[in-house]
Amino acid sequence: MAPEKSNETTDANDQPRDTFECSNCGYRTQAEHNPGDCPECGGEMQNISRGRDT
């Protein structure tokens, strides 16, 4: 019997989430949209996600 390899599909980026970083203190979080203010210091959150620079 030949052992069949399970063809696993690794979908690491399954969820369409972006990464946002606080421009003031560097706090990072992931969300589907801009959370607005930084929960740590109230600074401005910026989208730093990669792959949309075309």
Tell the burial category of 22 from Cβ atoms under 10 Å away from its Cβ (0-12, 13-18, 19+). Answer: buried
From 18, 27, 44, 46, residue interacting with Zn ion (rule: CB under 5 A): 27
> Least Å distance between CB 44 and Zn ion?
8
From 19, 24, 29, 46, residue interacting with Zn ion (rule: CB under 5 A): 24
Residue 41 makes contact with Zn ion by CB under 5 A: yes
Q: Which amino acid is at 1?
A: M
Q: Which CB atom, from 10 or from 21, has the smaller least distance to Zn ion?
A: 21
* Cα gap 29→49, rounded to integer Å: 11
Residue 25 makes contact with Zn ion by CB under 5 A: yes
